[in-house]
Amino acid sequence: MLKDIVKNLEPSSTLKINEMSKHLEEKGKKIFRFGFGQSPFQVPIDIVNELKKNAHQNKYLPMQGLNDLRRSVAKYTSSKKNFEYTPNNVIIGPGTKELMFLLQIIFDGEIILPAPSWVSYAPQAIIGRNKIRILQTKMENNWFPTGAEIEKIILKDKKKNYLLFLNSPNNPSGQICENLDEISEIAKKYNLIILSDEIYSELSFNDNFKSISNFCPEKTIISTGLSKWCGAGGWRLGYFIVPENLKIIKETLNVLASETFSAVSAPIQYAAIQAYEGDHKNYIKSSREILKSIGNYVYDNLCSNKVLIKKPQGGFYLMPEFINAKFQSSSEMCNNILNETGVALLPGSDFGFNKDRMLVRLSFTDFDGENLMKEYEKKNLLDSKSIENYAPKVAEGVNRLKKWSESL
């Protein structure tokens, strides 16, 4: 009944851990939701009001997306990238996940996935029948591949097409790619296209954040949307920006879009115009500073001679490694942590690491973002006491995890 290619696929790890956490809570266990990553903040009120105002919009919109929205996205992105994009470069989709899936289906070549990589890249490549090259990365390089490591894969067969997924700030590590110039040189030299997953870019803790699209825009497909910076994960609106010299990809994506999702919800698209034309600098700044403060709090309280960890640079994740843990796999370790402490984490093996490395992804968003945003805007800073008062589950969960690590 089922095709062999899908028989061994399992539900997305991030959604699975969310359901497991709900189930345990319903049974009365106190759970610290460090496994599921979504923005803790409310959608800005002016964007919500636009959604209400456009609730009557009930017609199918153009397949590639509402033209006014594509114009707003192109203008917004061009101002950040020093590269001129037009509305025709933009494809609006029901979240970037769907667009990535369609890209994996149409791409003819090999997929290069640095480990760690977001949990859905590899399953999508499998469904798209693409060969995957997993590139194990190192902590000293911020968990990103070097240009030489990428080139080594390509040199095995220079005639092939290659698609590199580069996610910065990164899920699951919370790190930013710092060797963009050398990676861009490899892209320019070979048949290498880069999918730059920039969904966390607005949440970079560095004011001068740059992505690979700043270095080689002509070989880069930008993937981003509303879910992380705008708190609108449930609205399901993302987009690709495809440069002109890759227009065959954009045109083919449009064909597949016409046979799958057809068009994104009309009210959501009209509301999204306000997201890119309104002034949300203060909202984004507050979100960044809150996440940075909480991320640093987790880092300061968890880092020890038994836990290797890098300070987060963007987004809302950290990737600790428990160096004395005696388990068969990181998955077994996460199950033990959940049972012993109530802290829900995702194992490093879900992100491409070898299962015997005791790495986990920790999402530090288990707090009431609305209340914490109000507190931050009163004082313009968050100290440890404020975090313990307004993000008590983060504070208690980290304390439980620290005590667990000390027992190793």
Q: What is the CATH number of the domain that holds 325?
A: 3.90.1150.10
Instruction: Kindly state whether residues 88 and 182 are assigned to the same domain.
Output: yes
105 falls within a domain = yes
Which is more confidently placed, 226 or 10?
226
State the pLDDT at residue 8. Answer: 78
pLDDT (average), residues 309-335: 94
| Residue 5 predicted with pLDDT over 90 | no
Return the pLDDT at 33.
93
Beta bridge partner(s), residue 91:
240
What rounded mean pLDDT belongs to the chain? 94
Let me know if residue 47 belongs to a domain: no
Same domain assignment for residues 201 and 291: no
Whether 262 and 360 share a structural domain: no
Closest CA to 364 of 310, 306, 297, 307: 297
Instruction: Say whether both 31 and 95 belong to one domain.
Output: no
Q: Please check whether residue 51 lies inside any domain of the structure.
A: no
Specify the pTM: 0.94
CATH number for the domain spanning 248: value is 3.40.640.10
Tell me if 148 is assigned to some domain: yes
Find, among 267, 363, 296, 288, the residue nearest to 69 by Cα.
267
Euclidean distance between the first and final Cα of the chain, in Å?
A: 46
Burial of 333 (0-12, 13-18, 19+ CB in 10 A): buried
Q: State the residue range of the domain holding 87.
A: 56-277
- Express each pLDDT in 175-190 by its tens digit: 999 999 999 999 999 9
Question: In this predicted structure, what is the pLDDT of residue 288?
Answer: 96
| pLDDT score for 208 | 85
Closest CA to 240 of 47, 64, 112, 15: 64
pLDDT tens-digit readout, 84-96: 999 999 999 999 9
If asked whether residues 194 and 338 sit together in one domain, one would say: no
Same domain flag for 85 and 194: yes
**Domain termination site, one of 227, 260, 277:** 277
Angstrom distances, CA of residue 30 to CA of 87, 294, 341, 342: 48, 21, 9, 6
Buried b (16+ CB within 10 A) or exposed e, 76-111: ebeeebebebebebbbbbbbbbbbbbbbbbebeebb
Domain shared by 152 and 192, yes or no: yes
Do 260 and 325 fall into the same domain? Answer: no
Residue finishing a domain among 256, 277, 298: 277
Which tokens is 392 given?
């008590």
Q: Which of the listed residues 277, 308, 325 is the one where a domain comes to its end?
A: 277
Domain count, the chain: 2
Report the relative pairing of strands 238-241 and 317-318 from DSSP bridges.
Answer: unpaired
Mean pLDDT of 279-284: 96
**DSSP H/E element including 334:** helix 330-341
Structure tokens at 97: 């996940």
Q: Give per-residue pLDDT as tens, 335-361.
A: 999 999 999 999 999 999 999 999 999
Q: Note the pLDDT tens digit of each residue in 112-129.
A: 999 999 999 999 999 998
Overall average pLDDT of the 392-398 stretch = 97
Q: Cα separation of 137 and 141, whole Å?
A: 7
Please tell me the distance from the alpha carbon of residue 204 to that of residue 223, in angstroms, as a whole number: 16
Nearest to 400 by CA among 335, 340, 310, 336: 340
Examine residue 377 and state whether it is found in any structural domain, yes or no: yes
Question: Is residue 264 in some structural domain?
Answer: yes
Whether 49 maps to a domain, the answer reads: no
* The pLDDT of residue 378: 87
Which pLDDT score is estimated for 16? Answer: 76
**What are 95's two structure tokens?**
């979240």
For 304-315, the pLDDT digits (tens) are 989 999 999 999
Please tell me whether residues 31 and 91 are part of one structural domain: no
Same domain, yes or no: 243 and 301: no
Does the residue 50 lie in any domain? no
Dist CA 197 CA 187 (whole Å) = 16
Task: Looking at the structure, tell me whether residues 375 and 356 fall in a common domain.
Answer: yes
**What pLDDT sits at residue 10?**
77
Phi-psi region of 167 (alpha: psi -120 to 50; beta: other; left: phi over 0): beta
Q: Across residues 195-220, what is the average pLDDT?
A: 94
| Domain shared by 27 and 86, yes or no | no
